[in-house]
Structure 1
Amino acid sequence: MALFTTSGTLHAQDRKALKIGVSVGSGEQIWEVVKRAAARDGLAVEVVVFNDYQLPNAALAAGDLDANAFQHQPFLDNQNKSRGFDIVPVGLTITAPLGFYSRKIKSIDALPDGASVGIQNDPSNGNRALLLLQEAKLITLKPEAVKNNNATPLDVVSNPKKLKLVPLDAAQLPRSLDDLTIASINNDYAEKAGLTLAKDAVIKESPKGPYANIIAVRRADKDKPWAQQLVKAYHSPEVKNFIETKFSGALVPAF
């Protein structure tokens, strides 16, 4: 069963009305600006908001969306492989540096032995969280897992502080902060929970990492004129200025 209904005009070769799936939080705010830029090119953009990372690609693959903009390439690669989607990127959007947050400590130097550490349970973001823990010199991972970007808790070969890694759904991590010592939380969920990377994160990912987010479409649509118009709208000066002024480094334009 389709998640959303679409009008016949959305299936026309030269479509002018588009449904775009985004994640809750900052994505919604940015796409309000993109909508205005797209309107100048004759594109009417409807934003469909999701609060679960597992849904936007399924909706896109099913034809209920024309594009989505919530994920980085490693996440898409994993979804294409594990779920049989044929979804491709058409343009870059933002980089959202990952952070570890806590309600119990103010600095990572205060992390106690045996601390409970929440990480995402999806392969790409879980790998990303583990790499950030390794960068902070809290764990060591198997070199092969680091090279292949597929680390899991089973790939931890050194854990001197005997940290207890707790994989949870990404949306559950902010709600679990009271039960965990620290938790890896994606930017959109952190923002919804009232957390900011600059002020609240005890570990921060470099904004120049490999996790730039993308606009993605079905492969059959990647060369359609509307896809490039959509990317052009996102890459407009007003969108870039909005990201840089609104988010103060918590989100960084990747274009």
Structure 2
Amino acid sequence: MKKGKWLLSLAVVGLVTIAGCGNSEGSADNSEDTTVQLGVVGADTDVWDDVQERLADEGIDLEYVEFTEYSQPNTALENGDIDLNSFQHQDFLDNYNDESGADLVSIGNTVNAPLGVYSEKITDLDELEDGDEIAIPDDVTNGGRALKLLQTADLITLDEDAQNPTTSDITENPQNLEITELEASQTARSMEDVDASVVNSGMAVDAGLSPNEDAIYLEPVDDTSRPYVNIIAARKEDEDNEVYQKVVDTYQTEQTAEVIEETSNGADIPAWEEFGRK
């Protein structure tokens, strides 16, 4: 996405622009009062709000830069317009680097946020009928993850050689379900129009849904979950930046784990406890 295009998008959603975006302070390890700009997607910053308060005590001013689509924060990070971002899982980042030639890296695990199936029309996947429509995210990694979830739920079968499967990799679809691909932010909004929708945890929370209470099917958490662990990303040259490492240290604490438990109603899992620091 062109730089001007995403900046216009941010203006539309009323972003408060922070003076010195991509400034040298964010890369200075010895600043007494350092501003770090963190790219996020959506309005759910409850966990980061708690981290933000504790970082302020360390002389680090964590500022949010809000984006509306998953396609935007990595471009901004690569261009140096923000310092870090926290919105994606490792598989999404790997795919972005492969497609763009970027060299962004994970500097810390945050949460594992299980994908969920939601519906306003049924209360159990067994109620799906032949030809019913299911919405999934349209980006490569989340779309593939959604299809794998539908396979785990025994609704479809996928080509076993497909790492990030697409709808063309569906080899069996006994109920002839119609799989509709939508931009991830639209999957929750589509629930009125489809029979079921696969929604990322953050998008579900933004839509007022509780994954543990409202999802009719949740992604299992096991060894296969590692590629979908959410992360804090930085540019490769900033991988060992002391200020950014302090952000990771402040996030990966027992206090943060308690906030994650409270704000997600137990749906999200502190990933550093399960899978390590990064």
The question of a shared fold, defined as TM-score above 0.5 by the shorter chain, is answered with yes
Aligned amino acid, residue 9 of structure 1: E
**1:239 Cα shift?**
1.3
- Please name the residue that 1:176 is paired with: 190
Q: Runs of 5+ in structure 1 lacking a partner?
A: none
1:122-158, Cα deviation, whole Å (9 max, x unpaired) = 000001000000001100000101xx2x100000000
C-alpha distance in 2, partners of 1:237/1:157?
Answer: 44
| 1:31 equivalent in alignment to 2:48 | yes
1:179-199, Cα deviation, whole Å (9 max, x unpaired) = 111111111111121211112
**1:237 Cα shift?**
2.4
C-alpha distance in 2, partners of 1:23/1:83?
Answer: 20
C-alpha distance in 2, partners of 1:45/1:72?
Answer: 21
- Please name the residue that 1:79 is paired with: 96
For the aligned residue pairs, the C-alpha RMSD in angstroms reads 1.5
Asked if structure 1 preserves the Cα contact closer than 8 Å seen for 2:120 and 2:191, the reply is yes
Match of 1:165 among 174, 179, 198: 179
C-alpha distance in 2, partners of 1:14/1:120?
Answer: 42
Asked if structure 2 preserves the Cα contact closer than 8 Å seen for 1:25 and 1:191, the reply is no
- Please name the residue that 2:147 is paired with: 130
- Please name the residue that 2:37 is paired with: 19
- Please name the residue that 2:10 is paired with: none
Asked if structure 2 preserves the Cα contact closer than 8 Å seen for 1:17 and 1:46, the reply is yes
- Please name the residue that 1:235 is paired with: 252
Please say which of residues 236-245 and 120-129 is displaced more in the overlay.
236-245
C-alpha distance in 1, partners of 2:27/2:53?
Answer: 22
The number of residues matched between the two structures is 251
**1:207 Cα shift?**
3.3
1:83-139, Cα deviation, whole Å (9 max, x unpaired) = 222100000001110001111111111011101111111000001000000001100
- Please name the residue that 1:9 is paired with: 25
Asked if structure 1 preserves the Cα contact closer than 8 Å seen for 2:147 and 2:166, the reply is yes
Asked if structure 2 preserves the Cα contact closer than 8 Å seen for 1:207 and 1:252, the reply is no
- Please name the residue that 1:68 is paired with: 85
- Please name the residue that 2:168 is paired with: 154
SS of 2:181's equivalent in the other structure is strand
**1:217 Cα shift?**
0.1
- Please name the residue that 1:104 is paired with: 121
C-alpha distance in 1, partners of 2:79/2:103?
Answer: 11
- Please name the residue that 1:57 is paired with: 74
Aligned amino acid, residue 165 of structure 2: A
C-alpha distance in 1, partners of 2:83/2:258?
Answer: 26
C-alpha distance in 2, partners of 1:130/1:21?
Answer: 27
TM-score by length of 1: 0.93
C-alpha distance in 2, partners of 1:8/1:216?
Answer: 18
Aligned amino acid, residue 167 of structure 1: E
Greater relative CO (CA pairs within 8 A, separation 6+): 1
TM-score by length of 2: 0.86
Q: Tell me: CA distance 1:127–1:239, structure 2 relative to 1, closer, same or farther (3 Å).
A: same
SS of 1:190's equivalent in the other structure is helix
C-alpha distance in 1, partners of 2:25/2:107?
Answer: 22
SS of 1:194's equivalent in the other structure is coil
- Please name the residue that 1:219 is paired with: 236
C-alpha distance in 2, partners of 1:212/1:10?
Answer: 25
C-alpha distance in 2, partners of 1:10/1:33?
Answer: 20
Q: Runs of 5+ in structure 2 lacking a partner?
A: 8-16, 273-278
C-alpha distance in 1, partners of 2:260/2:27?
Answer: 31
